Amino acid sequence: MKLITSAASPFVRKARVALYESGHEAEVEEISVTTSPYATAPEILTANPLGKIPALIRDGEHAIYDSRVITRYFDSQWNVGLYPEDNLWEVLTVEATCDAIMEAAVLMTYEKRFRPEGMVFEDWIKAQWAKVDRAISALEADWTHVLEGPTTMGSLAACIALEYVDLRCGDRSWREGRTALADWQANMSERPSLARTRPE
C-alpha cells in the first residue's frame, strides 16, 4: 500500500499516527508530495478526485481517502483497537470535533496565505477561530472521560488538533483557562506515534 502524505497536514498526521499505532508501518510506503489548493499534486488526483490528502492506494483495490476512512481502515485491518465498540459513538464524536478544529485552523491559514494582499477577510478568520475556541472548550467540558481513558482515535485526534492550533494559531493562547486540557495534551504528546509525526 501507498499513503500519500504532506508533512504539515494534520489530517495526514492522523493517518500516519494510526498507522504507527498499528505497528505495520513497514507494509505501507509513504509518498510525500507538495500540494496546495491552487496546484494539486498529480499523485493525489490519481487517488482522490477531490485532490485532498491523505489518500491510501491499496494493492489491486480502489484508493480510499479522507483521514477518518483511512484511520478506520488501518484499525480494521490490524485490529488496533482505536475505535472500541463500548464507546464508539463518543470516540467518533470526539474525532469529528477535532477534525472540525483542524479544518477551521486550515481555513484560517489559507485565508492569510492565499488571498491577495488587501483582500484577507478578517471576519471570516474570526468566525473560524470562534469554531476552534468553542470546540476546544467542549473537549475540556464534555469529553474528558474519552480523552483520559484508554487511547483511542478520539484522544489521538485531540492531541493532533491542539498541536496544529499551536502550529498555525500559536498567538491565540488556547491553553488560557483550560489547565486540565493543557496538562493532558502535554502528557499525551509524549506518546511515540505523536512524537514521531510532529511537524517541525
Q: For helices 67-78 and 88-114, what crossing angle results, to 10°?
A: 140
What does pTM read for this prediction? 0.94
Three-state secondary-structure class, residue 2: strand
pLDDT at position 23, please?
97
Q: What is the pLDDT of residues 58-117, one digit of tens each?
A: 999 999 999 999 999 999 999 999 999 999 999 999 999 999 999 999 999 988 888 888
The stretches of 79-152 forming alpha helices (DSSP H) are: 88-114, 122-142, 144-147
Burial class (CB in 10 A: 0-12, 13-18, 19+), 176: exposed
Residue type at 46 in one-letter notation: T
Mean of all residue pLDDT scores within the chain? 94
**Domains in the chain, ordered, with CATH?**
2-78 (3.40.30.10), 85-197 (1.20.1050.10)
117/151 Cα distance (integer angstroms): 43
Q: What is the pLDDT of residues 155-187, one digit of tens each?
A: 999 999 999 999 999 889 999 999 999 999 999
